[in-house]
Structure 1
Amino acid sequence: MSGSQQTRPVSGPASGPAPRGPLGGGGPMGRGVGLPVQKAQNFGPSAKRLLGTLRVDTPLLIVVLVLSVISVGLSVIGPKLLGNATNVVFAGFVSMQMPAGATKQQVIDQLIASGNQQQADMLSAMDFVPGAGIDFPQLGMILMVVLAVYVFASLFGWLQARILNGIVQRAMHRLRKQVEDKIHRLPLSYFDKVQRGELLSRVTNDVDNIGQSMQQTLSQVVISLLTVIGVMVMMFVISPLLAVIALVTIPLTIFITVVVARRSQKLFVAQWKATGILNARVEETFSGHSIVKTFGHQREVEADFRDENAEVYRASFGAQFLSGTIMPAMMFTGNLVYVAIAVVGGLQVAAGLLSIGDVQAFIQYSRQFTQPLSQLGSMANLLQSGVASGERVFELLDESEQEPDDVDAETVPESASHLAFEDVTFSYSPEEPLISGLSLTAEPGSTVAIVGPTGAGKTTLVNLIMRFYDVSGGRISLDGVDTMRMTRDDLRSRTGMVLQDTWLFSGTIRENIAYGRPDATEEEIVAAATAAYVDRFVHALPDGYDTMLDDEATNLSVGERQLVTIARAFLADPRLLILDEATSSVDTRTELLIQRAMSRLREDRTAFVIAHRLSTIRDADLILVMEAGAIVEQGSHAELLEAKGAYWRLYNAQFEAAIEDEDDRVPVLAGAPPVPTVTELITAAEEGFEVED
C-alpha cells in the first residue's frame, strides 16, 4: 500500500490538528475529531438489508411460514365455527317458540299469512325444527371442534415463534461477529476519528435494538399479514357487501402509517445518534473522572450532559409520540367500521340474507381484520427504530478497511533486527505534511533514542514501524525486506512495545504478563516478572500472580501497572523493542534498576527509545533529534553535546538551575560537572542501599 491509510470520514472533514495515532492521543478528556453526523439511508434498502441477515436460515424461514399459515388458518376458521354454534343455540330457542309437529315451511307460511313478512324472511335463513329445542349433542360437537382448532392454532403459533426466535438470535450472533471482525480490519485512522463511546454504542446498543426489533416485529408482521388475507377471504365468503365495508380500513391504515412513518423516521435516527453522543460523553467523563474533579469542571460536564440528555429526550419523545399515534388512529378507524358492519349486518339478518351466527362471525372477523392492521401500524415505531439502528451498524460495516496483506508476502529470518528508514514521507492528512525525506539506520543490537519537543513526530515513527499507519513515500525495511511486503502479524510478532500508557486487561496478573506469549511456562513468567521487579510486589497481594485485575487495574498503582507491561515485553522476547517513556510512572530507585534490566533486554536486539529525560539515553548508540517531523541532528551523546545544536539546547534546558534576577535568568550549568551515566547512577544506587530480591 502506498500512501497513508485513507478512510471515509465519519462526520465529514475533520477539523483541528491531525490525529496522533494509537500511541499518541489527547488524554482521557480529549474528544474525537468529529461526531457521526450522517444522513440516514432510505427505509426500504435498509430494511431489505436487515432481512438479508436471515438468508442463511432460509429453510427454517420456510418452516416458520408454513407453521404460520397453519396457525392463522386454524384461527381464522374459529369464528365461523363459533357462528355455527350460535346458530344452533338461536335456532333451538326459536324452535321452542314454535308448535311441535309443524314443519319449518308451515311456520314460515303462517307468518307470511299473518303479515309478518320480516320475521318469515329471518326464519327462512335459519335451520330449525319447530318444538325441538337446542340440539346439545350438535352444540357440544361444534364446541369440541372449536377447542381443538384453537389449541392447535396456539401450538403451531408457539412453535413458529420459537423457531423464529432462534433464527433472529443466530442472525444477531452473526452480526456481532461481523462487527467484531470489521473492527479488527479497520485502520487505526478510523479510531482516531470516532469517539470510543460512540463506537461502543453502535456495537452494543444498536445491535441489541436490532435484535429486539426483529424479534418483536417479524413474527407479528407475518402473522398479521396472513391473518388479514385469511380473514378477508372468510369475510367475502360470508358477505361480499360487509367485506367491502371492512376494506375501507386498508387505505386509511396505509395513509395514516405512511404519513406518521415519514415524520417519525427522522426522529428515530436522531434518537439513536443522540444516544451514541450521550454514551460517548458518559464514557469520556467516567474515564477521566479524576481529571474532571482535579480541574473543577463538574459544572461544565454536567451542563454538557444535560444538553445532550435533553437532546436524547427530545428526539425520543418526538419519535415515540408520533409513532404512538398510529395505534389510536387505527382503533378509531376500526370502531367506525365496526359500527357500519353492525348496522348493515343487522339489516341483512332482518332481511333473511344472513344468519345471526354469520353476523356474529363477521363481527369477530372485522375485529380480527382491524387488529392486525392496528398491530402493523403500532409496530411501525419498532421497525423504524430497528432500521435506524441497522443503518448505524451498516455504516460501520461499510467503512473502508485497511488494505489486506500481500498474498505473496515476504518474510525475514527470526533473528532479523536491521531496520532502515529510506527517504520516508508521511502525513496524517494531505493538508498538513508531518515527515518528509526521513532516512535512518538502526543496526542489530543497537539502541536508537528519539528525542525532541512535543509534536515533533517521535511517536509517529513508532506508528510507522508497527504499520499502524503506512508510509506515504519511501520505505521502511527489515533486513532489506520492505515492511509493506510483510504481513502485519508477522511484523508485529517480532516487536515488543512498552508505552507510557499502560495496557492491562481484565484477568490475572499472570495472564497479563503472558498476554504476548500465552504458551509461556510458569517458570518463564516468573523469570520475566522478576527481571521487571514485578515479583517484588506481587507476593504482597492476597492472591499473588492470580490477583484479578479489572480493565482499569485499579488495585495496582500506576507504577506497578507499568512494571507489569514491562514484564510482558520481557516475556515476549522480541527482536525489535520499542520503549516510549516506559519508566515515567515508576520511582527513581526502581527506574534505575529497570534501566539495568532493559539494558539486558536490549542485548542482540534493535531498540527504539522515546525519551524525555535525556539522562536515561546517554548510553544510546544513536540519538535522533526530531523537530517538525524531520531529523535535525543525529549522533552519540558526546557528539551532539559537542555540536551545541538542538540536542545541546534540550539537554541544558533539563539540567540548568535558574537564579531569578530582576532582569533575567542566569543559567548555572556552564561550569557544572558532567551528569553521570545510567551505569554510574545504578552503581551509586546499589552502593547506597541493598537491593532486595
Structure 2
Amino acid sequence: MSHGEVLSRVTNDVDTIEQSFRQTLAQLVTSVTTVLGVLIMMLSISPLMTAVAVLILPMSLIVVMFIVKKSQKYFKQQQEYLGHINGQVEEVYGGLSIVKAFNAEEQYLHEFNKYNDVLYSSAWKSQMMSGIMMPAMNFIGNIGYVVVSILGSYLAIKKVIQVGDILSFLQYVRNLTNPIAQTAQVANALQSTIAAAERVFEFLNEEEEIPETQTPAAITNINGNVSFDHVRFGYKSDKIVIKDFSADIKQGQKIAIVGPTGAGKTTIVKLLMRFYELNSGSILVDGINIKDFKREDLRNLFGMVLQDTWLFNGTIMENIRYGNMNATDEEVKKAADSAYADHFIRALPNSYQMVLNEEASNISQGQKQLLTIARAILANPKILILDEATSSVDTRTEVLIQKAMAKLMKGRTNFIIAHRLSTIRDADMILVMNEGDIVEQGSHTELLQRNGFYAKLYNSQFDAGEEAS
C-alpha cells in the first residue's frame, strides 16, 4: 500500500465518515421520532386507514434496498480510486525529478487519466442511482396518498369517519412520507460512509506490533554485548531471509557485515532494533532478550547512520538536535564539528538556522550525510550502526569522517554494513553473509588467507576497479 493510499484512508475516508455522522445522525433521529409520533396519531383516527398507509412502507423498503444494492459497489469503487489517485499523486510529486529524468510524464499522465476516468464513472453512476431514491420514494408516497384518499372517501360515505378526519389523516400521511423519504436520503449518504468505513477498518485491522512486555528489563548499566542465537526470520513466513544466524559480539568491538545484495545485511540491523519480530531464535543485549526491553528503551541504545539520509523540514540546528532533544546549541555545534560538518554549515545562509526544505534538496547529498552523522554523534549511543555511511561523500571527506568515527566508535559496540570492503579492513570481526547465513567470519587478514567467499568478494572489487580504469 502506497503512502498516498494510506493518507487517503486516514484523511478522505475518515472525513467522509465524520461528515456523514455529523450531518445525517441528527436527521435520522428526527425522522424516526416523527414517524413514531405520526403513526400514533393516525391510529387514533382510523386503524384501518393506518394499516393501508403502512402497507406502502414495504414497497418503499424494497425500492431502497434495490437501489442501495446496485449503487453500493460504485460508492466503494469511488473511494477506492480516490485512494489510487492520491497515492499516485503523492508518489509522482515525491519523485518528480526522477519522473522528468526518465521522460515518464506521459506514462504517469496516462495512468492518472485511467484512474480518473474510473473515478468519474463510478462517482457519476453512484450519484445517479442514489439520486433516483428520493423521486422513487415520493412516487410511492403519492400512491399511498391516493389509496388512502379513496379509502377515506368510502369510509366517509359509510359514515364510519368524518370528512375532517380524512383531511387530518391525509396531512398525517404526508407527514409520514416526508421523514421516510428523508431516511432514504440518509441511507443514500450512508452508502459513501459504509464504503469509506470498510477501507478505514481494513487499515485498522492490519496486524499490530506485539504488545510491550508488562515487566520491562532495566536499561541501566548496559555495556553493549550482543548475541544472535540461531536467528530465523522472513518478511513472509514462506520466504525466509535469515535462515540460521548466530554470532557473539563483545563490547567495544567493530563488527563489519558484508555480503552480496539480498544476503540479509540490513535485515539483521532491523531485527536488532526490533523493527520486526523473529520467527525463531533470540537476540540478546548483555544477556537480556530484546523482547524484555521496552521498544523505546531498546532503541535509545542505538545510533544509526544509514545510506538513505532522512532530514525533516526545519533548521539545521533542529535536525542535528534530533539525536538528543535536550542538547544545548554548543553541544550541537560540537557534534557537527566532530563530523566535519561545521565548516560547510557556517558557509550556508543563516548558518545553523538555515531551514531545510521538505526534501532537504537545498543542500547536497554529501552534506545531508554529514548532518546525519553529526546527529548520531550527538546521540552518544551504546551501540552504533553504520549502513555504508560514507557512500555519498568525496574521498577526502570520507577520510575525515572515518577519523571522527574512530573517536565515536571507541568504547562502543559498532555494526558496519559495508559494500566497499576496503573500508572495513581494521574491523575486529567480519561476518560474511550469503543467502541469509553466515558463511565465513574472522578478521580481514584471516578471511583473505582462507581464499574463500570473502576473498572472492574483495578481489572482485579491485578487478572491477581495474576494468573501469
TM over 0.5, shorter chain: yes
Contact 2:217 2:293 in 1 (8 A): yes
Amino acid at match of 1:584: S
- The corresponding residue for 1:333 is 140
Out of 294, 314, 323, the residue aligned to residue 507 of structure 1 is: 314
Larger deviation: 406-415 or 486-495?
Answer: 406-415
After the TM superposition, which residues 405-416 of structure 1 pair with which residues of structure 2 at under 5 Å, given as runs?
405-416=212-223
| Partner deviation per Cα, 1:227-255 (whole Å, 9 max, x = no partner) | 11222333344555654554344222111
Distance 1:418 1:658 in 2: 37
Deviation at 1:332, TM superposition (A): 1.6
1:339: Cα distance to partner?
A: 4.5
The reply to whether residue 372 of structure 1 matches residue 179 of structure 2 is yes
In structure 1, how many angstroms separate the alpha carbons of the residues matched to 2:145 and 2:464?
94
- Please give the alpha-carbon distance, in whole angstroms, between the structure 1 residues aligned to 2:201 and 2:58: 33
Q: How far off is 1:513 after superposition?
A: 1.8
Identity of aligned residues (%): 49
Q: Which runs of 5+ in 2 are unaligned?
A: none
What letter corresponds to residue 582 of structure 1 in structure 2? Answer: A
Mapped pair 1:310 → 2:310: no
> Which residue of structure 1 lines up, in the alignment, with residue 328 of structure 2?
521
Q: 1:617 to 1:374 in 2, by over 3 A?
A: same
Q: How far is the alpha carbon of 1:495 from its aligned partner?
A: 0.5
Q: Distance in 2 between matches of 1:456 and 1:505?
A: 31
Give the aligned residue type for 2:395.
Answer: T
Counterpart residue type for residue 176 of structure 2 = F
| 1:221 equivalenced with 2:28 (yes/no) | yes
Quick check: 1:617 aligned with 2:424? yes
- Decide whether aligned partners of structure 1 residues 414 and 307 sit closer, same or farther in structure 2, where only a CA change above 3 A counts: farther
Corresponding position of 1:103: none
Map 1:575-654; keep pairs closer than 5 Å: 575-654=382-461
Q: How far apart are residue 218 of structure 1 and its match? A: 0.6
Letter of the 2:79 counterpart: W
Q: Residue 400 of structure 1 aligns to a residue in which SS? A: coil
Structure 2 distance, partners of 1:543, 1:230, is: 71
- The answer for the alignment partner of 2:67 in structure 1 is 260
Q: 1:618 to 1:259 in 2, by over 3 A?
A: same
1:508–1:549 CA contact under 8 A, matched in 2: yes
Aligned match for 1:495, one of 286, 290, 302: 302
Q: Which residue of 2 aligns with 1:460?
A: 267
Deviations 1:48-93 (A, max 9, x none): xxxxxxxxxxxxxxxxxxxxxxxxxxxxxxxxxxxxxxxxxxxxxx
* Structure 2 SS opposite 1:656: helix
**Map of 1:435 onto structure 2:** 242
Do the aligned partners of residues 323 and 441 (structure 1) sit closer, same or farther apart at CA in structure 2, a change above 3 Å counting? same
**Number of aligned positions between the proteins:** 468
Q: Specify the structure having the higher radius of gyration (Cα).
A: 1
**Closer/same/farther in 2, CA of residues 583 and 234 from structure 1, 3 Å limit:** same
Q: 1:431 to 1:239 in 2, by over 3 A?
A: closer
1:547 counterpart = 2:354: yes
**2:369 counterpart residue number:** 562
- Tell whether the 8 Å contact from 2:219 to 2:297 is kept in structure 1 after alignment: no
1:201 maps to 2:14: no
Structure-1 separation of matches of 2:465 and 2:324: 49
Residue by residue over 1:491-550, the C-alpha shift from the partner in whole angstroms, topping out at 9 and shown as x without a partner, is 111001111112223333322222232122222122122222333233344443333334
SS in 1 for 2:322: helix
Cα separation, partners in 2 of 1:343 and 1:474, compared to 1, 3 Å: closer
Question: Over aligned residues, Cα RMSD in angstroms?
Answer: 2.8
Letter of the 1:434 partner, please give it: V
| Counterpart-to-counterpart distance in 1, 2:422 and 2:464 | 16
The residue aligned with 1:233 is: 40
8 A contact 1:412–1:481 mirrored in 2 = no
Partner of 1:288: 95
Structure 1 unaligned runs (5+)?
1-193, 660-664, 669-693
Worse overlay, 609-618 or 203-212: 609-618
Measured in 1, the distance between the counterparts of 2:109 and 2:376 equals 41
Quickly say closer, same or farther: Cα 1:351–1:436, change in 2 above 3 A.
closer
How far the C-alpha of 1:257 sits from its partner, in A, is: 0.9
Taking a change above 3 Å as real, the CA distance of residues 569 and 237 of structure 1, as seen in their structure-2 partners, is: same
After the TM superposition, which of the residue ranges 565-574 and 305-314 deviates more from structure 2?
305-314
Question: Is the 2:244–2:436 Cα contact (8 Å) retained in structure 1?
Answer: no
Higher mean C-alpha deviation, range 482-491 or range 210-219:
482-491
Determine if the alignment matches structure 1 residue 422 to structure 2 residue 209: no
Change (3 A) 1:610 1:658: closer
Change in 2 beyond 3 A, CA 1:369/1:439? same
* CA apart distance, 1:212: 0.9
Matching residue within 131, 134, 149 for 1:324: 131
C-alpha separation between the residues in 2 aligned to 1:598 and 1:451?
19
Question: In structure 2, do the counterparts of structure 1 residues 601 and 242 end up closer, same or farther at CA, with 3 Å as the change threshold?
Answer: same
What is the one-letter code of the residue matched to 2:245?
A: L
**Alignment equivalent of 1:396, drawn from 203, 214, 226:** 203
The residue number in structure 1 matching 2:83 is: 276
Q: Is residue 323–residue 380 contact of structure 1 (8 Å, CA) maintained in 2?
A: no
Which amino acid in 2 is paired with 1:421?
Answer: F
With the length of structure 1 as denominator, give the TM-score of the two structures. Answer: 0.62
Q: Partner amino acid for 1:324?
A: G
